[in-house]
Chain A
């Protein structure tokens, strides 16, 4: 992209914003396809919260990039290597149980991350986090409810929920493995040491799994580097769709 986005505080804002935008986009794919009307509405609402959150981070990043850079430039004109989200959030939706497993894992992490960001040395980030934390509590309540309901449900729902946990658990190690962007943020007092969130996260997730009468699957972790720009092929397809309109018609306005 034509803007210089190398500044460490911009990189950190992009990392935070990219998780929200990419997961928000994935959830928006459920719009019109939810298993029941209330779920269609819930998933679209959560998507809306996340895209709104991404916009706040991007607006702040764009301001710091300067020179007329906008939130849209950051969302639509970066390539996959320039995205700093976790590989977990870009994974395709799968079935409803898959989406709920991915969501529970992310919501629990997101909750802990925002809780820490409330005390960020970056005052603007702290202000964004204080409100987003409350909205994320609603998200976590929603995904936890569904994991319990499906896990402790019928034979079919239980089988699918267990398979979904097995599919997504290997992606969660990246959440707690500091990358360059995390290390710099921690050193400068902008964000938490992500490794320290692992204990509380295990605790939260295990509590939900116990209620769901599900076992935590024993699966090897994947070595992932999404936060350094190395993504799965899924992100390329997602961006191709998400960015196609502004790239085909750069002057288009609403």
Chain B
């Protein structure tokens, strides 16, 4: 819910239907998420009664992440994407300096645009010297 990937949930005569939208195109967790959603709901409405549908339109962007979601990412140690960056300036090389999730300093730099998963880039804090991951803005 916090990631903004649950678009709709409707009750059907014998269960429910959930509309999910994928995040990053190449995210290998997409199917895992589908399975987890299905399994969690089947506990409630019974096996075989949950339909999971994939919706592509409108496409997901990092703006779909809720305030709560952004906070949870930061608590986990991942710098959240720049807030409501509707102009997507970060894609054009104009980067808002990210705050270090450990010491909150904005004196940080990007080490690599591609990180351990499709959704993260690698940064480092020049203040406390901790490397950290940042959620990529799309």
Binding site for B on A (CB under 8 A): 38, 41-42, 45-53, 56, 123-124, 126-128, 130-132, 134-135, 137-138, 141-142
The smallest C-beta distance from B99 to any residue of chain A, in angstroms, reads: 21
Decide: A127 near B26, CB < 8 A? Known: A41-B114, A42-B112, A141-B93: no
Contact in complex: A49, B113 (CB < 8 Å): no
State which of A50, A53, A131 has its C-beta within 8 Å of the C-beta of B138.
Answer: A131
Chain B contacts for A46, CB-based, 8 A: 114
In the bound complex, CA of A47 to CA of B28 (Å): 12
In the bound complex, CA of A203 to CA of B111 (Å): 29
Contact in complex: A131, B59 (CB < 8 Å): yes
In the bound complex, CA of A47 to CA of B118 (Å): 10
Binding site for A on B (CB under 8 A): 24-28, 56-61, 88, 91-93, 111-118, 122, 136, 138
For the residues of B in contact with A, the DSSP-based class is loop
17 A-B pairs whose Cβ atoms sit less than 8 Å apart in the complex: A38-B112, A38-B122, A41-B112, A45-B26, A49-B25, A51-B26, A52-B25, A52-B118, A53-B25, A126-B57, A127-B56, A127-B59, A128-B56, A130-B58, A134-B91, A141-B93, A142-B113
State which of B59, B115, B118 has its C-beta within 8 Å of the C-beta of A49.
Answer: B118
Chain A contacts for B59, CB-based, 8 A: 127-128, 130-131
Contact in complex: A52, B26 (CB < 8 Å): yes
The smallest C-beta distance from B82 to any residue of chain A, in angstroms, reads: 14
Chain A contacts for B60, CB-based, 8 A: 131
B25, B60, B92, B113: most-surrounded residue (chain A CB, <10 A): B25
- Starting from the known contacts A42-B113, A51-B26, 12 additional A-B residue pairs (CB-CB under 8 Å) come to A38-B111, A49-B26, A49-B118, A50-B26, A52-B27, A56-B25, A126-B57, A127-B59, A130-B59, A135-B25, A135-B26, A138-B114
Contact in complex: A45, B58 (CB < 8 Å): no
Contact in complex: B28, A48 (CB < 8 Å): yes
State which of B24, B25, B28, B57 has its C-beta within 8 Å of the C-beta of A124.
Answer: B57
